[in-house]
Amino acid sequence: MPARTSQILQLVNSIGRVNVNELAQQFNVSVETIRRDLSALDKKGLLHRTHGGAMSKQSKDIGRSFQARQRLNSEAKRYIAQQAIDYVFEGAVIGLDASSSSWHFAQQMPDIPCTVVTNSMHNINALVNKPNIKTIATGGVYSAKYAAFYGPLSEQLLLRLHIDLCVFSCTGVDSNGAIWESNELNASIKRKLLDASGKKFLLLDSSKFEQKNLIKLGELTQLDILFSEKAPNLDLQNYCQEHQIHLSF
């Protein structure tokens, strides 16, 4: 293996994720050269190629299963979802991610005429006995671990839709306004869901305040409302106030 590609592999395995432009600067070569290096490593199965960079095979899928997340802070998540239900209206198109918080939201949704778009089997099952709610499954590659669909097919559907409001969660936020996810699989489809949505609601139990993870999903400035069961610290409150992000707790 050439010295540069060997160094790139060591780097991605040590920090989890690398960016094409940063690697090009670091090794003083063109972006196209770095892309070829990453593609070659990807073909050998040594890393996972992503848009704009690559990530370690060792950290590609480190998120908790749905069953594990479902048991964590369930009372807080139920309360948080109940707050967000107030924003459901007849005729709305609502996007739900595959988080356990969204599942609590789906369980509590009133049976009124509206449409739900989701990649989560648990959300689909929660809505199956609500005949007035039209459910659109994204399709794609099924992950048994997350009980949800992922990949290009899922994301292509979201690119063709307009969603009135989306309800999603994440693994953490920090006081600098960053939203974090544990793996690229979840982060990628959540970005497409956010891009397709008019209003964006983040459901976040307080254990996730000041928590960072592997993947930066986005910024709190993308949100309309941050729902939780208790107030965040003053730094995060001040950030939300400065950027006109409504806090509900």
| pLDDT tens digits, 64-96 | 555 555 555 678 899 999 999 999 999 999 999
| pLDDT tens digits, 161-205 | 999 999 999 999 998 999 999 888 889 899 999 999 999 999 999
User: Does one domain contain both 32 and 92?
Assistant: no
User: Does one domain contain both 14 and 129?
Assistant: no
User: Does one domain contain both 77 and 51?
Assistant: no
Crossing angle (nearest 10°) for helices 184-196 and 152-159:
10
On average, the pLDDT of the chain sits at 89
User: Does one domain contain both 89 and 38?
Assistant: no
User: Does one domain contain both 78 and 48?
Assistant: no
Q: For residue 209, what are the domain limits?
A: 66-248
% pLDDT > 90, the chain: 60
Count the domains in the chain: 2
| pLDDT tens digits, 226-239 | 999 999 989 999 99
User: Does one domain contain both 49 and 98?
Assistant: no
Residue where the block lists tokens 């309309």? 224
User: Does one domain contain both 42 and 72?
Assistant: no
Query: CATH number, domain at 85?
Result: 3.40.50.1360
* Cα angle for residues 75, 138, 157 (degrees, 5° grid): 130
User: Does one domain contain both 24 and 42?
Assistant: yes
Domain end marker among 22, 41, 59: 59
User: Does one domain contain both 155 and 217?
Assistant: yes
> Phi and psi of 40, rounded to 5°?
-65, -40
Q: pLDDT-based confidence at 42, cuts 50/70/90?
A: confident
User: Does one domain contain both 24 and 107?
Assistant: no
User: Does one domain contain both 113 and 208?
Assistant: yes
> Which has the minimum average pLDDT: 12-16, 26-30, 184-188?
12-16
Euclidean distance between CA atoms 118 and 227, whole angstroms: 20
Query: CATH number, domain at 51?
Result: 1.10.10.10
User: Does one domain contain both 52 and 71?
Assistant: no
Domain end marker among 13, 36, 59: 59
Euclidean distance between CA atoms 53 and 245, whole angstroms: 31
Crossing angle (nearest 10°) for helices 31-43 and 20-27:
110
